Chains A and B, each alone.
Chain A
Amino acid sequence: MMASSYNIKEEDGHHSGSSGPGGNAVRTKKPDNTAFKQQRLPAWQPIITAGTVLPAFFIIGLIFIPIGIGLYVTSNNIKEFEIDYTGIDISSPCFNCSQSYSWNTTTSCTCSIPFSLDQPFESNVFMYYGLSNFYQNHRRYVKSRDDSQLNGNLDSLKAPSKECEPYRINENMPIAPCGAIANSMFNDTLDLFYIDPNGTRTPIPLMKTGIAWWTDKHVKFRNPGGSSSNLTAVFYGTTKPLSWPKPVYELDTDPENNGFVNEDLIVWMRTAALPTFRKLYRIIQKKNSLTPTLPRGNYTLDIVYNYPVRSFDGRKRMILSTISWMGGKNPFLGIAYISVGSVCFFLGVVLLFIHHKYGNRNNSSDIPN
């Protein structure tokens, strides 16, 4: 990348050092003749010149463009299907549900949205819910949690951190899990049914686990009092978050996925970076290699509509997506790589031209000494 001259300056420090025993140390005040102190450390002196950068440009171009093409193709091969089920439109099946504004309605509203997949989804399919205009990264929101409570600390369970205000204490009982994040946990239930051509609804098995980071599930989030004990007893003396219909120990029947280690909770607790985000909801595992996970055909999405978003002009989506080695579908990386690679290549050509035409005299100086 750079022309370089390796320039070891004469280091007479060694000479005097070796002859040191001969000459007695009379001249104590004289500064040491070390390479460092005399600023004569051997040094590599690279120079950026057209001649050295040119190959670098070509190499970057040649590497980036294929990577970009690979990324782009990979991204394009990822199948993704998205449904907005907010129910803004009157025609939408969820319109009625969306009209019930507040989050504390006791009755749940259900709606179902039919859709069809034009292409079969091979391999594992990941089901996301997406929210828009939801500021999970608002500062007041982000800090409104108590990690030590979520980590199973009994003291914090009974006395949550002040950061959780105003979701800390309800009716003189500490809230578990406390804080705005936990309080606003996404609580729509999404179910997927395959409509056979003959009209029968086959429920598609959705896996609840494996959606959160392994370390979160196993280290960062822990139920108080260990995993084996009775959660109801452990959480005695605490109250559920205000907007939750059920207390935290009733999130799931599976004891491994209940309480603070419930993966839906864990996923929700990882605050999103941007106001429009998606979170992993369920995984549809591939059954066998012969049939696609989601074959082509008609489906229905059954929604238990609990989560109000209209008050802040939000949107709710359900996303089905396959995953590649680079993650979900995102053409940005591929395009960026291709363009940066092309720019480099182009610059390389331009520089080569300039260099060839004007820079001949530089050639001699490219060879150092």
Chain B
Amino acid sequence: MLRRRLNRLFGGDEKRVDSRTIYVGNRPCPATETFIPPKFCDNRIVSSKYTIWNFLPKNLFEQFRRIANFYFLIIFLVQVIVDTPTSPVTSGLPLFFVITVTAIKQGYEDWLRHKADSEVNKYPVRVLEDGQPARKDSEKIKVGDIVEVVEDETFPCDLILLQSSRDDDTCFVTTASLDGESNHKTHYTVPDMEKDLQSLSATIECEQPQPDLYKFVGRMHIYKPEHDPAVRSLGPENLLLKGATLKNTKKIYGVAVYTGMETKMALNYQGKSQKRSAVEKSINAFLLVYLCILISKAVVCTTLKYVWQSQDGQDEPWYNQKTEKEKGTILYVKMFTDFLSFMVLFNFIIPVSMYVTVEMQKFLGSFFITWDRDFFDPEIEEGALVNTSDLNEELGQVEYVFTDKTGTLTQNNMEFIECCIDGFQYTAFSSELDSFCVTDGPVSTFQEKAGREKEELFLRALCLCHTVQVKEAGPDELGGDQVDGPASEPLRPAEQRGFIASSPDEVALVKGAMRYGFTFLGLESKTMKIKNWQNDVEEYELLHVLNFDPVRRRMSVIVRSKSGDTLLFCKGADSSIFPRVRPEEVERIRMHVQRSATEGYRTLCVAYKRLSVDEYAAADAGLREARLALQDREEKLMAVYNQVETAMSLIGATAVEDRLQEEAAQTMEALQGAGMKVWVLTGDKMETAKSTCYACRLFRRSTELLELTVRTLESGGRRREEMLHDLLFDFHRKAVQDAPPARAGVNRSWSSANPEYGFIVDGAALALVMNPSPDTNCSRYRSLFLQICQNCTAVLCCRMAPLQKAQIVKMVKNSKGSPITLSIGDGANDVSMILEAHVGIGVKGKEGRQAVRNSDYAIPKLKHLRKLLLAHGHLYYIRIAHLVQYFFYKNLCFILPQFLYQFFCGCSQQPLYDAAYLTMYNICFTSMPILAYSLLEQQIAIEVLLDNATLYRDIAKNAMLRWGPFLYWTVLAVFQGLIFFFGVKYLFSNPALQDNGQVFGNWSYGTIVFTVLVFTVTLKLALDTRHWTWINHFVIWGSLAFYVVFSFFWGGIIWPFLKQQRLYFVFFNMLSSVSAWLVIILLIVLSLLPDILLGVLRKPRGPHTQQMRRCLPSSGTSTIFVLSQTTSTHSFSWSD
């Protein structure tokens, strides 16, 4: 909480000019006269909530903040203070039990967090001390320390890069765990840095910590004894963020600027707030109802008591005098204590034990997730992990799924799938044939389709047009991959090391070319080497690289071959290439591009151009000039690029697959079939994200995309705000106003008649919507935006900063109807949204453990989400909903007879049941069956749940805990309570129930009622149980047997510690009476009748429906069917 507030403070308050000064190496600098060692926080990461010292008070405080616990505490205190019919033990013991169990559970969970924290905090790092690296724990790093980091290590705090082992003063970094981008990024050392860090005397002045990952402003003052202090400006390219990983660089040195909770990563965390499930909210609502019932009962009884007492001779008949003390108390005090006594007498209606049982159910129930073998991933040798068991049932209530892309939906593993040369299709791997695919057989046998020359040209283009670097590795490894099968190829780490590029699909293309026989050997001093089919090495001189940027969406290289030809190769998105090539070439290839885009592949078109000497000279001059320009360098470069990249000829197109996670598409489809809306929130580029969405079938061919991105905002040539306004209203009209009212429960694959909308928004546009300039009406935009989003089948948000992800989640979470949200992600950049959503799921991916640690549940793969939600979530919800309803029910019909009894005992708070029964009812006699039920019940088998995603909709919107079902249970409880009480009352109109004429007293009365109650309530549960395992049998029949045995035992002995032997042989005598037997049987049958009757009249559930539903095509097959039938030629790919 505090941290979040801090975030807001830092994020929102740009005017804060406060900066911090860091003394590099913590050495005083000559320029500053006084060296005040600045105070910064240490490098400890704290995600835990308690310490040993504050655990007890803090935990107790938090627990008693719960209304229920507080209520029980009050009841307990009342019992201690006031003379009440039941002893304080009856409520104190269960309360103590609850508090202890909860405290132990929370303590254990916090201990786990402590362990995880210390794993990070105690991670060994090397800090330069007196020129020598000294080993230290990560938490000991102070601001100003110089830290050494070696390859593949993560940075322990935010560092300014001082020195790199690479010659070019750069280092490579992946920030996969921060923003999800797994490509290598180049960071630069501070310019003109000395080699000797020991003698370096410098200070760094930089801004105070702020959460934006891409912003950093600072200055470095370097002091040299004989020179004036030199000043270097520092930017984000010098800053290495905690959580990022050093790649392809042996060793770097950096000075710590932000540590611990002040690092950008930590600032992007959100404080852990306790998540409460919707079920708990329902419980609280029901609790209020019961509290009202309780209070009104107490009020009624108190009133009646005084009405009754006012009658002549009733208050104090001669046989029943009051004590002196009672006579002495003032009337109003007496009334109040009477009221409290009634409260205590009826307080069992709000069951303490329900909380125990719910806690136990959640705690034990979560083990089933951990134990599930389907969640076990052989690759990482791990199964699912449950961090918070409080939210099990929430898994069955999810309405919105927010998923990260990189590492969650995709494996972030690019693979070359196919290419198209001059209109002919070549598939890299001879799987999945369809009518378009002409190539067959092994990869290396190129069928002569396009001209051989064209093929070679295409492959050369692939080999040359990139910025890939070859990692120094044995040539065997490089050549080895032709032998391997394609499936195992991406997994080999040796292969991964082969090429390094800023974007994984470049690697894929180079590898693809290699597969066809053109191997890129490397770039040596401006010379690119290629091994061609004839195993000859071709050399090209690299003249210029026209870099990729997201606006142009293409890149080019200009090379000169040995023969002296100057060639320009260009590759890029079809939309940016097609206008720049000869139109007659386009048509042949466009079809392929569209088709492969439909498949979810990332398509690139490849074009080339032969530059004449003059042309090259002009281009060369232009480029050089633009590069040197001091002002508007970007624009000028762009202009030259555009000028050069014209009139090219199209060679072909490639299709690269960003390999989806296993069963990603099926999982998404299942989730949508279950009525969930899936939003993709990613930090990645829009194109990439879009193609992933297509691949996951979140977008279909028929989906009309509404784009709200920087590009669309700027395309109109107007102000962004105006454009935003127009677009929002336009989209709103389309998606919300024109759309027919949504039909719930219709599988989207069948309702293809309505247009489907997909919404794409990027971070910048979102920022405009969320925080527009003050003159616009921001709340309007927000609600418009939200409405559009809610009416789209899928929403894609790209270029999101971690906090923006959380913002989106929060917006949806707080929207109307407060839908249950779920976030799933694998990287540290997903942590904030994982924490924000109702349920946070971490994928145990390759990007570190941050997400897993902060999640509520962690699963090894995305595909496991399906079972987690559809099967586990569904079952847990049913179980806990039934548990809650049952608990309220059984306590209402437990207490109602006691209430009714007050009318017949002068409203004197005389308990109907013995104290032992009052205490044991919830703890022993009726708690185990419902616990077993709530752990084992499977009204619908797991397989069926998995097969029919639509079943998930049956329990959507908290269906089993709404007022309707609650009313049913309450009415049932009242009905049964009335039957119990009055049935026995009529029997007792003649209390001579034994064949020896002896009579029964009030405790026999209570015992008969109680026996009926225990049996009815247990048998009612037995009727509801649809899944009888041996445990259910054992527990249900066992607790009934236990009741009987206990009653014998309890009544069979004169207990020395009891003041009154109320139940002595009462149970035994009851059983010796035939009438008592008969009335017990009669009342049980009568009480269960309505339930049985309703069970008959209700639509059959369970296996029957399963069979019926099995006849329908399952949603999975149907959509596949629809997909293969799509013939629409609607254009959508990559174009804007």
Contacts and interface: CB of A to CB of B under 8 A. Distances in A.
Interface in A298-330: 308, 311-313, 321, 323-330
Given A139-B85, A140-B320, A220 B995 contact: no
Interface stretch (B370-378, B560-568, B580-588, B851-859): B370-378
A92 interface: no
B319 A183 contact: yes
Contact of A327 (B314, B905, B1060, B1073): B1073
A154 interface: no
Nearest to B986: A332
Contacts of A270: 999-1001
A139 B996 CA distance: 29
A88 B1119 CA distance: 89
A109 interface: no
A274 interface: yes
Nearest to B994: A327
Interface in B640-682: none
Contact of A210 (B996, B1000, B1003, B1104): B996
B991 A277 contact: yes
Contacts of B382: 29
B1082 A328 contact: no
B1082 A323 contact: no
A142 B383 CA distance: 60
B1065 A278 contact: no
A342 to B, nearest CB: 12
A278 B990 contact: yes
A340 B1100 CA distance: 26
Contacts of B942: 39
Contact of A41 (B373, B1030, B1102): B1030
Contacts of A283: 997
Contacts of A170: none
A280 B992 contact: yes
Interface in A253-307: 267, 270-275, 277-280, 283
B1103 A45 contact: yes
A103 interface: yes
Contact of A333 (B985, B991, B1078): B1078
Interface string A335-347: 0110010011001
Interface stretch (B181-189, B256-264, B399-407, B1087-1095): B1087-1095
Contacts of A220: 1054, 1061, 1064-1065
Interface residues of A, number: 102
A321 B997 CA distance: 9
Interface string A165-200: 111000000000000100110000000000000000
A353 B858 CA distance: 54
Contacts of A158: none
A19 B384 CA distance: 26
Nearest to A5: B1103
Contacts of B997: 124, 126, 211, 280, 283, 321, 323, 327-328
Interface string B1089-1112: 100110110001011100110000
Contacts of B1068: 215
A46 interface: yes
Find the residue from B313, B326, B983, B997 having the highest chain A CB count within 10 A. Answer: B997
B66 interface: no
Given A271-B1001, A272-B991, A333-B1082, A139 B312 contact: no
Nearest to B871: A39
Contacts of B991: 272-274, 277-278, 328
Interface string B998-1013: 1111111110000000
Nearest to A67: B1078
A5 B1028 CA distance: 11
Contacts of A271: 1001-1003
Contacts of A340: 1082, 1085-1086, 1089
Contacts of A323: 992, 995-997
Interface in A108-138: 124, 126, 128, 134-138
A49 B1096 contact: yes
B904 A275 contact: yes
Contact of B1028 (A27, A44, A166): A44
Find the residue from A42, A277, A362 having the highest chain B CB count within 10 A. Answer: A277
B993 interface: yes
A53 interface: yes
Nearest to B321: A166
Contact of B313 (A280, A312, A324, A343): A312
Interface string A136-163: 1111111111111001000000000101
A71 B1028 contact: no
A212 interface: yes
A233 interface: no
Given A140-B320, A180-B320, A283-B997, A333 B905 contact: no
B322 interface: yes
Contacts of B318: 102-103, 184, 243, 308, 311-312
A42 B319 contact: no
A183 B1027 CA distance: 57
A274 B372 CA distance: 56
A294 to B, nearest CB: 14
A166 B322 contact: yes
A135 B1092 CA distance: 39
Nearest to A276: B989
Interface stretch (B132-140, B881-889, B906-914): B906-914
Nearest to A6: B1028
Contact of A39 (B936, B987, B1028): B936
B771 interface: no
A177 B1085 CA distance: 44
A345 to B, nearest CB: 12
Contacts of A161: 1059
A219 B1053 CA distance: 10
A118 to B, nearest CB: 21
Contacts of B1000: 270, 273
A33 interface: yes
B864 to A, nearest CB: 13
B1079 interface: yes
Given A31-B373, A135-B905, A323-B997, A47 B1103 contact: yes
B319 to A, nearest CB: 3
Interface string A60-79: 10001001000100000000
B989 A332 contact: yes
A123 B540 CA distance: 126
Contacts of B1085: 60, 64, 340, 344
Given A45-B1028, A139-B909, A327-B1075, A219 B986 contact: no
B302 to A, nearest CB: 14
A25 interface: no
B635 interface: no
Contacts of A163: 1059-1060
Contact of B995 (A38, A274, A279, A327): A327
Contacts of B909: 139
Interface string A85-104: 00000000000000000110
A31 B371 contact: yes
A351 B1093 CA distance: 9
A250 interface: no
7 contacts: A30-B373, A39-B372, A44-B1028, A271-B1002, A277-B999, A283-B997, A336-B1082
- Nearest 5 A/B pairs, CB to CB: A184-B319, A328-B992, A273-B1005, A48-B1095, A126-B997
Given A42-B1030, A147-B1060, A215-B1064, 6 more contacts: A29-B383, A37-B372, A45-B1026, A140-B322, A327-B997, A343-B1089
Interface of A: 5, 27, 29-33, 37-39, 41-50, 53, 56, 60, 64, 67, 71, 102-103, 124, 126, 128, 134-148, 151, 161, 163, 165-167, 180, 183-184, 210-213, 215-216, 219-220, 243, 267, 270-275, 277-280, 283, 308, 311-313, 321, 323-330, 332-333, 336-337, 340, 343-344, 347, 351, 362, 365, 368-369
